[in-house]
Amino acid sequence: MLRMTSLFLRTLREDPADAEVPSHRLMVRAGYIRRAAPGGFTWLPLGWLVYRNVEAVVRAEMDAAGFQEVHFPALLPREPFEATGRWVEYGETLFRLQDRRGNDYLLAPTHEEMFTLLVKDLFSSYRDLPVSLYQIQTKYRDEARPRAGLLRGREFVMKDSYSFDIDDQGLQASYDRHREAYISTFTRLGLPFVIVSAMSGAMGGSASEEFLAPLDVGEDTFVRCRSCDYAANVEAVTTPAPAPASTENRPTPQQILTPGATSISRLLENLNGRTDLPDHTPVDGWQGSDTLKNLLLRLDHPEGHSELLAIGLPGDREVDMKRLEAQISPAVATPCGPEEFSEHPQLIKGFIGPALLGSGSATGIRYLVDPRVAAGTVWVSGADRADHHVVGVVAGRDFHPDGFIEAAEITDGDPCPSCGEQLESARGIEIGHIFQLGRKYAEALGLSVTGPDGDQVTVTMGSYGIGVSRAVAAIAEATADDLGLCWPREIAPADVHIVIAAKAGSEQFGIAEQLAADLEAAGLRVLCDDRTDVSVGVKFKDAELIGIPTILVVGRGATAEPPTVEIKDRATSERSDVALSEVVTHLRAVCGVR
RNA sequence: CGGGCUGUGGCGCAGCUUGGUUAGCGCGCUUGACUGGGGGUCAAGAGGUCGGGAGUUCGAAUCUCCCCAGCCCGACCA
């Protein structure tokens, strides 16, 4: 039994100044966690109970799915990460350190290498596969900016699983099993979630989905369809493309004078102010979406070389750098400056036309366009001549892109790629991520097994993560209200919070004591506020702040005839008086016998 | 890493513009009394390198410079 008189707990009346998001504020105020380092938190007794409950749910669901738990060190040598290139690729986010001999070590941000090597170490036949292993481990990432308490720390706990299969079908099956296990895990945790399509990264090209808790404090933007079940991380949203149309019988392009029209808005002013383009002018006037704007970017690849890339997209769209970088990762894109333009004097900044772009064009610059710029579509674009544009340029006739790219911003109301209805955007906290790694790590580290026909077969892998400590904060975030925390029963630090609403030395203390013992004997977890030195108001406030799902008040009624106590549901505030003799039975039903 | 804001007893803040006795207030803490169904009342206490360093000055929490830390926005984030 937890007793307030002996519990290592101090609740705070006021919000801590360094906490902004509700989960952080309330968990500090309610005495669950304390900041111990930049991006690092100490779990206090109540917090640790909750953490362990969450961990227990995750572990139970992983075990139930048939995955086996192992445990690696968090402190790892450099070599495996050198082999996969991540010692360099991970950049400044990797915590690096040296031992006394000057050997390089790291605090692991994730454990793909170690799991791969472990399986390589022990298994060598296709008969040993498939296998899925997991661990629940403290991870370290030297985040440039830790924030929002437990939601983004530099030290955090993650459950990471890895599946090992002999072929793609096996990988798909392992992936599906993890997906199912994640659904039941988050459901059991009482955490609302949406599953969204995510980017798998440029090198993989395989399936990847994120589990997001749809909350405004989340750092991920995703979109979902208002009518069907499509949902995707904004980085992974695909733009419905018009069907390719014929380029026959289209009006001839016409060059026009557009002084100073270096922006889409000024171009539109010019276009809508003229009457000399009867063959081209749309019936409802010129819109930004009739224009094609072209941007020149420099791509810097991690291996060191650079190249130019031109992007073409409808003029009413801005480039979404996150979406762009997700497409070209691991390269980094930078808008071109005067140096790059001076290498291609044909290209006039502000008046870049599509005719000089593309690998078959005069410049030879790779040219990728928005999917809306499909073959047969007609555009106004730059004329590659200062103060001039061209109307009536037709994709596939007058210019030839090298391919398509998803780089345009997504806005509310855009069409759903699945059903065509409107998309809406929302924010979410990433609480899980599952993806098909493929053979990247197996190849880099030489994990292969002997196949049925005696040949060596490279193993294909999946990688699956749940942010355990983050999930605690996400649950707090999703369930808390104006009064304080409000835990789902399964992960709450206790089932029942007894408030003794009577003065020191009164009979109620003895009654509460006996009741607490009876409830514990019945299998319920009890926190008893047995303090005699605070007023009842304080006890009620603390009970609401701490957020145990059932509050049991032992007050005046307890000494009446017949004796009653009051039961209050923390989440709904519903209260009812229950006969003292019935309380244990009643609460066993309310809490479910564990 | 860029922009902004903030560092003053355990917590939340005022004081700084315009330098000047003993650095205040609320909460919390200690002791005592009252009170006892919504952070209650009264009294008496303890608790401070004013983030750190250097400088200006007769005198610095207050002015100047440098550094550090925290928060927010952005960039970044298998």
What is the full DSSP assignment across A535-571?
Answer: -HHHHHHHHHHHT-SEEEEESGGGGSSS-EEEEEETT
Residue A242 lies in a domain: no
What are the average pLDDT values for consecutive 10-residue runs of chain A, which has 594 residues? 91 87 92 87 93 96 97 93 83 83 90 94 94 95 84 92 95 95 96 84 64 89 87 82 77 81 77 74 78 82 75 84 76 72 77 82 82 84 83 84 84 84 88 91 92 94 94 94 94 96 92 96 95 92 96 94 95 95 95 76
Q: Closest CA to B26 C1' — which residue?
A: A14
Give the distance, in angstroms, between residue A561 CA and nucleotide B77 C1'. 62
Give the distance, in angstroms, between residue A273 CA and nucleotide B3 C1'. 40
What is the full DSSP assignment across A282-322?
Answer: -TT---GGGBEEEEEEEEE-TTS-EEEEEEEEETT--B-HH
Residue A420 lies in a domain: no
A198 CB closer than 7 A to any strand B atom = no
Nucleotide nearest A555, CA–C1', reads B37
Identify the helix (H) or strand (E) that includes residue A68.
strand A68-69
Nucleotide nearest A463, CA–C1', reads B78
C-alpha A99/C-alpha A103 separation (Å) is: 5
Q: CB < 7 Å to strand B — which of 424-463 in chain A? A: 433, 435, 463
Q: CB < 7 Å to strand B — which of 206-235 in chain A? A: 219
Give the distance, in angstroms, between residue A504 CA and nucleotide B39 C1'. 18
Residues A430, A193 contacting (CB under 8 angstroms): no
- Give the 3-state secondary structure percentages of chain A, helix then strand then coil, rounded to 5: 30, 30, 40
A204 CB closer than 7 A to any strand B atom = no
A553 CB closer than 7 A to any strand B atom = yes
Helices (H), A217-365: 264-272, 321-328, 338-343
A13 CB closer than 7 A to any strand B atom = yes
A44 pairs with which residues across the strands? none
* A129 shares a domain with A53: yes
CATH number of residue A259's parent domain: 3.90.960.10
Give the distance, in angstroms, between residue A539 CA and nucleotide B38 C1'. 9
Cis peptide bond prior to A80, omega within 30° of 0: no
* A196 shares a domain with A60: yes
A18 CB closer than 7 A to any strand B atom = yes
pLDDT of residue A284: 78
CATH number of residue A133's parent domain: 3.30.930.10
| DSSP β-ladder status, A423-438 and A231-233 | unpaired
A319 CB closer than 7 A to any strand B atom = no
C-alpha A61/C-alpha A33 separation (Å) is: 26
Give the distance, in angstroms, between residue A169 CA and nucleotide B73 C1'. 45
pLDDT of residue A203: 42
Q: CB < 7 Å to strand B — which of 349-408 in chain A? A: none
A504 CB closer than 7 A to any strand B atom = yes
The DSSP call for residue A279 is T
C-alpha A177/C-alpha A472 separation (Å) is: 24
Q: Closest CA to B41 C1' — which residue?
A: A535
| DSSP β-ladder status, A40-43 and A378-382 | unpaired
Distance separating the N- and C-terminal Cα atoms of chain A: 16
Give the distance, in angstroms, between residue A363 CA and nucleotide B21 C1'. 80
Extract the tokens encoding A276.
């000399």
Give the distance, in angstroms, between residue A146 CA and nucleotide B56 C1'. 38
A574 CB closer than 7 A to any strand B atom = no
C-alpha A431/C-alpha A465 separation (Å) is: 8
C-alpha A308/C-alpha A296 separation (Å) is: 7
Residue A320 lies in a domain: yes
Which residue range(s) make up the domain with A530? 494-591
A16 CB closer than 7 A to any strand B atom = yes
Instruction: Give φ, ψ of A329 to 5 degrees.
Output: -50, 145
* A165 shares a domain with A56: yes
* A261 shares a domain with A217: no
ipTM computed for the complex = 0.89
Nucleotide nearest A19, CA–C1', reads B71
* A378 shares a domain with A302: yes
Give the distance, in angstroms, between residue A533 CA and nucleotide B31 C1'. 14
* A316 shares a domain with A174: no
Extract the tokens encoding A307.
């190249």
* A219 shares a domain with A296: no
* A273 shares a domain with A224: no
* A578 shares a domain with A438: no
pLDDT of residue A206: 65
Strand positions, DSSP E, A72-140: 75-77, 95-98, 104-107, 131-140
pLDDT of residue A283: 73
C-alpha A448/C-alpha A450 separation (Å) is: 7
pLDDT of residue A192: 92
Residues A369, A358 contacting (CB under 8 angstroms): no
CATH number of residue A528's parent domain: 3.40.50.800
* A260 shares a domain with A213: no
A538 CB closer than 7 A to any strand B atom = yes
* A508 shares a domain with A444: no
Q: CB < 7 Å to strand B — which of 57-116 in chain A? A: 93, 109-110
In chain B, which nucleotides are within 7 Å of a protein Cβ? Answer: 1-2, 11-13, 26-28, 35-40, 69-78
Question: CB count, 10 Å around CB of A320?
Answer: 19
Strand positions, DSSP E, A150-305: 155-165, 194-197, 208-213, 220-225, 231-233, 254-257, 292-300
pTM: 0.87
Q: Cα–chain-centroid distance for residue A20?
A: 20
Residue A353 lies in a domain: yes
Rounded CA Rg of chain A:
31
Counting the structural domains of chain A, the total is 3
* A304 shares a domain with A210: no
Nucleotide nearest A89, CA–C1', reads B78
Best CA proximity match to A114, nearest among A434, A463, A457: A463
C-alpha A189/C-alpha A475 separation (Å) is: 8
